[in-house]
Structure 1
Amino acid sequence: NSAGIMQLLQKYGAKSLESTLVNKKRSSMNDLKEEPVEHDIKGSKEDNEDTGMMQLPSQEFAMGCSVLHQAALGNQFEMDLILREWPALVNFHDYDRRTALHIAASEGHVDICRYLVERGAAINRSDRWGGSPLDDAHRHRHADVVDLLQKNGAKFRSSSQATNFIAAASEGNIDKVKALMQFGNIDVNEGDYDRRTALHLAAGEGRLEVVELLCEAGADVNIEDRWGNRPLDDAASAKTNSAGIMQ
């Protein structure tokens, strides 16, 4: 399917970025600001509970950034060293309000997620786009993380049509994609928090039928996500990964 998707995208004028590494490791550390900003470090189990806002000292802010970085890497040892000294940083978030639990859930680091939950991470904290760690785990198909979070009371938070549309495209649910396009107020080029559109996800997952539908509907075949990747790059990455599995 990946080869067919690449041919289809190229038929619609898709181009690949030569500088893009097809197996690039995505890290939410790209989101972090260099200067200290206000961070909500007094975590709560629910978003509607009162939380304290404070300006963090530079060292503590740097340690909070490191917690997010270690969550992306899956490095529990380094994270534990930091959180033993600054336990409140378990709920440190970047300017998109994404915590270490959001990031670890996105990356599928189930042991890190378990560790963060045990240390009191806010399991239902919403990021800037209304997504919870459970939404992230489900979107990236990390079933073990989904199971862990749900057993600890996690809830799905993101219910927008755009989110459902992108998820349906990723899953290859052609009927749902068609229904949302027909009856919903859908912008086919709207992206998620990483600016990844339905076409990015469908191409990366090998959903040929969905890719064709989106292209016919006028989806931008050269739209770039946060890392500069285009749908054709995702299709190429899927093809490379599939070839590696077959060898």
Structure 2
Amino acid sequence: MNSADCFQNLDPIFLETPPYLSTSAICRCTGSQITGLLKSAVPSGNLNLVASLIDHGGNVNCKDSEGRSLISLAVQAGQIDVVKVLIACGCVIDGSIDKVLHYAAAINRVDLMDVLCDSFENIEVNSADLRGRTPIHVAASRGHVEVIRFCVSAGGKTGVLDHDASSPLHLAAQEGHLETTEYLLDCSDYSVKHAVNKEGKTAFSLAVDNGHSHLYDLLHMGDVLHRAARVDDVNGIKSCLAEGAEVNRSDQNGWTPLHRAAFKGRIESVEVLLHHGARVNAVDNAGHTPLDCAVEAGHMQVALLLIAHGACAKVKSLRGIGPLNMDCFKNHPSLVKPLCQEEKKSETDVSVC
């Protein structure tokens, strides 16, 4: 293919840059010299020069000293238009050597990754480098959360371990990247939070080792708060909150500490959590509120307390609740009335009054 055909749809500004070698000078070079010049021109982003060198016989499939393609050199330099030209001119990559997605992830270039994935059908988004790290590992260590989102959308796995048994979450926590850590927790198996690397370190341990206190709640104290709410450890709840735990932090099922306390009937814990700003109408992944949990478990006093603090009595969990649990509330009009009204609206066969 003539390189002039490779420049369609490129930004004209790139085509105006004059080459630093004249055509006559290039013509006096040998084929190997032209290819050598092409290797040097690719990272520069000078499309005119790259085109001229290709037109004069530069080998688009030459390799550098490490066996990498010209596309690898262009990606590392962030030269997306050079990448497009090389692809159009027939440059190929070797997935075992050309870690082009890793290079793009390192410089936070989702646009490059998109071009590469569109152009190379067999490119592997979960490919590992010499350290066993995927592009998601690379992005996690640098806090490039949009790159991780792209990789996940393309089939990338967030739970892969490198040769040190480190997950992307370990690397994000070690470097203190909050948004990246949050995203990885959201899209990973819950067990990844507690996984240890070869040094026996969890993501939380690495955050502590490196002084990233803004990650403590996300990686550990939130779990402690949930446990304290579940077992009615009021002092533990107060201690966690004083140390910065997020009162509305949800677990993998969307349950907040208030959901747990309500389901277990821990009225003192419910009071403390509400006092510290717990959202009384927070919903879990299934759409259930703390009031739903209290009603389902038959905890009358907790349900009344939640209603007194503004809990909406549109109880989603009414369907399927047996008469035994609902009998607990029959002498409490403040709760039963809205439940009955909700039941009538839903037009189900469940009798609650």
TM-score when normalising by structure 2? 0.32
Q: Which structure is higher in RCO with an 8 Å CA cutoff and minimum separation 6?
A: 1
Larger radius of gyration: 2
